[in-house]
Amino acid sequence: METVEMNSVSLKRPHSEDDVANADEIKRQKTSEKSKTGNDSGQSIVTEQPDKSLLEDTKNEIIPNEESEEQEDEELEDSDEDGDPESFADMMKHGLTESDVGITKFVSCHKGFSGILKERYSDFVVHEIGKDGRVSHLDDFSVPVDDEVNFEDPSEETFTVLSDEDKQRLEELQLLKNKETSVAIEVIEDTKEKRTVIHQAVKSLFPGLETKTEDRDGKKYIIAYHAAGKKALANPRKHSWPKSRGSYCHFVLYKENKDTMDAINVLSKFLRVKPNIFSYMGTKDKRAITVQEIAVLRITAQRLAHLNKCLMNFKLGNFSYKNHPLKLGELQGNHFTVVLRNITGTDDQIEQAMHSLREIGFINYYGMQRFGTTAVPTYQIGRAILQNNWNEVMDLILKPRPGAEKGYLVKCREEWAKTKDPAAALRKLPVKRCVEGQLLRGLLKYGMKNIISAFGIIPRNNRLMYIHSYQSYVWNNMVSKRIEEYGLRAVAGDLTLKGATAVHIEEGDVDNYTIHDVVMPLPGFDVIYPKHKIGEAYKEMLVADNLDINNMRHKIRDYSLSGAYRKIIIRPQNVNWEVVAYDDPRIPLFTTDLDKLEGKPLPVLPTDGKFRALKMEFSLPPSTYATMAIREVLKMDTSIKNQTQLNTTWLR
């Protein structure tokens, strides 16, 4: 089993009469939010028609903030145009390629071939695998029935009986946003049934509020008031939730073309609750169809099921009540169903590629989305944080840079370069939830001489993303060196895991191990390094970056880099594949969970179509990237820079 050097494979798609049919799809992809990093569903790359969710810098992550700002920012982001495909391809000349982040090797011997990944978002489907090994599927819309009846289980009329004005006043009362002690709602149709529905609506939609009926000037009013003032506000659902019912409603979320955090933000707005009452085991792709389990605190299945009638691109089902939330990382992994369209490989090439993927696997690189797409990679900011070089951290985040960015960010950076005035730069930035906006706010609050505190305003996960990106950068480079130096076999001095502990493989034990047993460390404290050339290479790389591999504890605790171990080679499980012919690139090539629930038949495909597609399925553990598995099959550079440069003719 030899290793193969990186080569570029042209992915240009031959022009056909079907090209015109995809024009709307290309336009639709011009504006969107960025992809999240560290996605355990393994976010992948659009090879021919890049979605802007994958093209913007990872640091421009959406951060929950004041609601008015969220609405303003969303309008701006939705309306912002990034220019035509040609100019985008020009901007991406400054982006990263795989070799820039250490991704340089292959482990299979077959000849590479081309294909279109994610021509449609429905070509990439992810099903979460729970810690019990069960694959999450949406296959049931029914709502569980409680033995105990209560106001949290509303009728359908409950959701429409209150006017928007009533809801606004009730929300302000619930959140103690005004001086009112109660809200009066006139009963227009004075019947007992109508009054009951209004009582139910207030109590179910605004937990913590109580209601009573009063006569005023010959008219009936429902009076809403706080059950226990601020105490009720702290835990409003406590006052109306049956003791016999589990506190958390678990459900399966099926979503299309939305990432997990965006989906939860939408659900929380429609339910009028904070996003932090939701929990989940892993974040999932935007440009995909994904199915995962979500848990929410004290929201009934009935209220959640109602959202199926209100929301586009979401479906909720498989409801159950449990006594526990979900925790990040609890999952076993994800199962992928992927379509690569318009493939050029011969049947023999495809068989060799897929057999190799099943038997050998792929190098467990961190995918390109871990590093951003502009001329300032996220790992450079992470390195500056670890070096305690805060002026450079500020400069790297705020300085002008070539690459794919929205116009207002470009103006903000230009103003910063010209004035170094955070207030002036912030005025150029209507979208304040991005990292740049947060840092500028921090500089306004704490001053230019306290960059550490200013940087601390950025949410913790976003800050840690930078140093994790640096760890990933080091690991990618080191694993490439390891494969180049020793190939696909275990050697003395390698590391393997025994339980949670890493140990060195001794000379006399080498024959007891394969490459699939070998792990390598992410640099940090409390890890050991291989006892061969690669151990020295780690030290040399960190010395070149002015870091001490033996002292990775930072004076700021958050930035002390704890180490970990990661397998060199991942062998996917449940690998299956099929080559199918098709004529129309617009039709789906398999049925989804929702298709099955709605009774949609399997697509009828021609036996001798104009195009061929490779349908593949495989399961991966958490924190591995499906992109890297597909890269091994196609033998292509998955970077957006490479794709846009190869495909400028098609993009026009």
Which active-site residues does the annotation give? Answer: 285
Q: How far apart are CA 240 and CA 232, in angstroms?
A: 11
Q: How far apart are CA 326 and CA 249, in angstroms?
A: 11
Q: What radius of gyration do the chain's Cα atoms show?
A: 27
Read off the tokens for 215. Answer: 């006569």
Q: What does DSSP assign to residue 149?
A: -
Q: How far apart are CA 495 and CA 531, in angstroms?
A: 8
What is the distance of C-alpha 614 from the center of its chain?
Answer: 25
Element (H, E) at 189: none
Q: Classify burial at 543, counting beta carbons within 10 Å of its beta carbon; exposed 0-12, middle 13-18, buried 19 or more.
A: exposed
Q: How far apart are CA 406 and CA 141, in angstroms?
A: 40
CB neighbours of 223 closer than 8 A, spacing ≥ 6?
A: 182, 183, 184, 185, 211, 212, 213, 214
* CB neighbours of residue 225 within 10 Å: 16
Q: How far apart are CA 470 and CA 474, in angstroms?
A: 6
Check: CB of residue 47 under 8 Å from CB of residue 643.
yes
Check: CB of residue 477 under 8 Å from CB of residue 469.
no
Read off the tokens for 352. Answer: 């060799």
End-to-end C-alpha distance for the chain, whole angstroms: 41
Check: CB of residue 626 under 8 Å from CB of residue 81.
no
Strand, coil or helix: 631: helix
Q: What does DSSP assign to residue 292?
A: E
Sign of the CA dihedral with 241 first, then 246, 252, and 255 last: positive
**The amino acid at 365:** Y
Q: How far apart are CA 630 and CA 337, in angstroms?
A: 12
Task: Write the CA distances from 262 to 61, 257, 383, 418, 472, integer angstroms.
Answer: 11, 10, 29, 35, 25
Classify strands 124-129 and 289-297 as parallel, antiparallel or unpaired: parallel
Classify strands 124-129 and 333-341 as parallel, antiparallel or unpaired: antiparallel
* CB neighbours of residue 511 within 10 Å: 7
Read off the tokens for 463. Answer: 């800050």
Strand, coil or helix: 99: helix
